[in-house]
Structure 1
Amino acid sequence: MKIRKENISARVQSALKKIVIDSDYSHRDAYELGAKIIASGDAPKAFSQVESNATSKKTIKEAECKIVEERKQKLEEELRNL
């Protein structure tokens, strides 16, 4: 197996936030689950299934909006405290 060396840590972190928010999974569980999917060779299939499912797309978008809203509120609070 050839290992590609890429800096994907930022993408992994945002993807994990999408998966973990409002779920029973911890970040550790999500990493382990992702590693098992990759190791089984089903990662491209799993990714395409998630991308083609309208319900999962909606859930991911809602999670993204929640992350952005929480960040916005935190920044607004920091601004008020200045």
Structure 2
Amino acid sequence: MAEIGSISSDIKILQEKSMDMGLKLKNRKVAESKLAKFVEDIIVPPRMVDIIVDGEVNEEYMRTLEILSKKLKFVEVEPMLKLQKL
């Protein structure tokens, strides 16, 4: 009988660990998603650099400058948001 109680206790412990691991996984996925979005918002891909540095001044060039401008504004605003949270 004590063996059944021990097994029941082990199962309960494993269930709690499983739930804890599930929560940690969920939190990591949320963090990964937010980090991926942040990185996408701040990186300047090589193609964008090529267009700005070597590209002909045309419609694509202007669109690329607009995207770069948005990225720069985001980088300028992001530290301000962090300061507001303090």
Q: TM-score w.r.t. structure 1 length?
A: 0.38
Larger Rg: 2
Higher relative helix content: 2
Q: TM-score w.r.t. structure 2 length?
A: 0.37
